[in-house]
Amino acid sequence: MRLCTVSTAEIPAFFGIDLGKRILRVAQAGAAFGLSDADLARVASTKAYFENLPQSEKILRRILKGITETPKAVGRPAADGHPHLLNAADVTHLPPIERPGKILCIGLNYRDHCEEQNKEIPKKPMAFNKFATSLRGHGAEITLPHKVDKNIDFEAELAVIIGKTARRVTKRTALKHVGGYTIMNDVSARTLQANEKQWSRAKGFDGSGPCGPIIVTPDEIPDPHALAISCHVNGKKMQDSNTSNLIFNIPELISWVSQMITLEPGDMISTGTPGGVGVYRNPPVFLASGDIVEVKIDRIGTLRNTFVSG
């Protein structure tokens, strides 16, 4: 399934299923098929969905089955007067999970990214944090913090959404704790990153974590380590790699983090970026007002954002 959080000019943020050209309003469709209040609460948002796995997954599949078998139930307007199914072109995408409990990012996790910095391949992962205020949705304008740092960079990344609490899990069982996958652009303030020992400001500033547009459930991505990943700036390809090139794969990362930090449903782990980022190009390439950045990952889609002056 392809899950999202979207809104329209008339409808506030809601949990949806991306069906391609249309977005299904989950709560309204559930009501149309007679779901109980308890079941509707389990699918009230993406975060609620992950907190209630596997019951919530069964609920969504029941709704999708109902659409196939009884399409008339969602053919008429919902109780609020709006359609159950909206044209995908008419919605505004928000971060798929608006306020995750934790956003962990992994540094130096592609060999070519280490090589472009002349750094040795790390023997252990390294992690830093972003914050809920870092997140922006697909299509959102992102304000460049040029008054503080003019050297703002892009980083294409695959992000993992935790679907089941993970505490001191093994590599062998780690993937059982994955709820889905999405795209993240780890936008980075390079001057701050170079000059401050902690990366909280350089990597966690407002708008530094655009993500989405959707979360794809694991049944649609049987191998997350075989996905093409790329980044284009104004149509020019800057990064081009594959998640098969991760130094530490997803089970290793989940197990490593969970030895010290309990991972909870809805938490995000962004798995690192391949080579080709702006700061290590000759000459360096940094984002300017009007730039359009597109991050593409197989089986998920394209995350697109425009960067503007602050």
Please determine, for residue 136, whether its predicted confidence score (pLDDT) is greater than 90. yes
pLDDT given for residue 288 in this prediction: 98
Domain ranges of the chain: 2-93, 103-309
- The CA dihedral of 22, 26, 28, 30, to the nearest 10 degrees, is 120
- Give the tens place of pLDDT for each residue, 92-133: 999 999 899 999 999 999 999 999 999 999 999 999 999 999
- Percent of the chain exceeding pLDDT 90 equals 99
Query: Residue 310: what pLDDT?
Result: 81
Q: Is the pLDDT of residue 43 over 90?
A: yes
The average pLDDT across 31-38 equals: 96
Per-residue pLDDT of 171-200, as tens digits, reads: 999 999 999 999 999 999 999 999 999 999
Residue 25: strand pairing partners:
16
Q: What is the predicted pLDDT for the residue at 71?
A: 92
What's the pLDDT band for 286 if we cut at 50, 70, 90?
very high
- Contact call for residues 182 and 216 (beta carbons, < 8 A): yes
- Could you tell me if 93 and 139 are in contact, meaning their C-beta atoms sit under 8 angstroms apart? yes
Examine domains 2-93 and 103-309 and report if their fold is the same.
Answer: no
Residue-level pLDDT at 167: 98
CATH of 2-93, one of 2.30.30.230, 2.40.420.20, 3.40.50.720, 3.30.360.10: 2.30.30.230
**Quick one: average pLDDT of 39-58?**
97
In this predicted structure, the answer to whether residue 88 has a pLDDT above a threshold of 90 is: yes
Question: What share of the chain has pLDDT > 70, as a percent?
Answer: 100
Average pLDDT over residues 59-77: 95
Which CATH number is 103-309's, of 2.10.210.10, 3.30.450.20, 3.90.850.10, 3.10.28.10? Answer: 3.90.850.10
Single pTM value for the model: 0.97
| Count of beta carbons in the 10 Å neighbourhood of residue 235 | 7
Q: Calculate mean pLDDT across residues 40-61.
A: 97
Q: What are residue 24's DSSP bridge partners?
A: 17, 85
Taking residues 257-265, what's their average pLDDT?
Answer: 98
Return the structure tokens found at 158: 């695959």
HEC profile for 79-104? CCCCCCEEEHHHCEECCCCCCCCCEE
> Mean pLDDT of all residues in the chain?
97
Residue 187: what pLDDT? 98
